Structure 1
């Protein structure tokens, strides 16, 4: 939940754009935050891929 103001809260799901199902697996990432970092992600480590 995210507090919008002193009297209103909303679910995070309603406030953010999320990736579509399969979008990361297809390497067709359109969300700016995921597009920036997805190519650096590794399945076997938390270290950034080079």
Structure 2
């Protein structure tokens, strides 16, 4: 039913306008940060409101690891300690350990 209701030329124009607006907004963010290219954008350039009266740099909110930390078992954060062992290189599905019976 939805597929029949889709008007491709109309949708194409709306997608084009959305994409154009997104690129324009990105350009404004990059310029406001004093950067020349989006590849230069880092977490310390972005501020996030965490409550009605507090903002914090994303670089303070994100959990960073050093190169090879996960491969060497240096998880540093509970988040990685819990989920990294479930990762599989050949699938997005988590590896589930079956409990011994």
The verdict on a shared fold, with TM-score over 0.5 as the criterion, is yes
Give the deviation of 1:36 after TM superposition. Answer: 0.4
Contact 1:18 1:31 in 2 (8 A): no
Structure in which a larger fraction of residues adopt strand: 1
- Structure 1 partner of 2:42: none
Q: Does 1:37 align with 2:83?
A: yes
- Give the alignment of 1:1-50 within 5 angstroms: 1-6=47-52, 9-50=55-96
Q: TM-score, normalised by structure 2?
A: 0.40
Separation (CA, whole Å) in 2 of partners of 1:15 and 1:48 = 25
Give the deviation of 1:30 after TM superposition. Answer: 2.0
User: CA-atom RMSD, angstroms?
Assistant: 2.0
Q: Which has the larger radius of gyration?
A: 2
Give the deviation of 1:7 after TM superposition. Answer: 6.2
- Residue-pair matches, total: 50
Which has the bigger relative contact order, CA under 8 A and spacing at least 6? 1
**Could you list the runs of 5+ residues in structure 2 that have no partner in the other structure?**
1-46, 97-101
**Could you list the runs of 5+ residues in structure 1 that have no partner in the other structure?**
none
Structure in which a larger fraction of residues adopt helix: 2
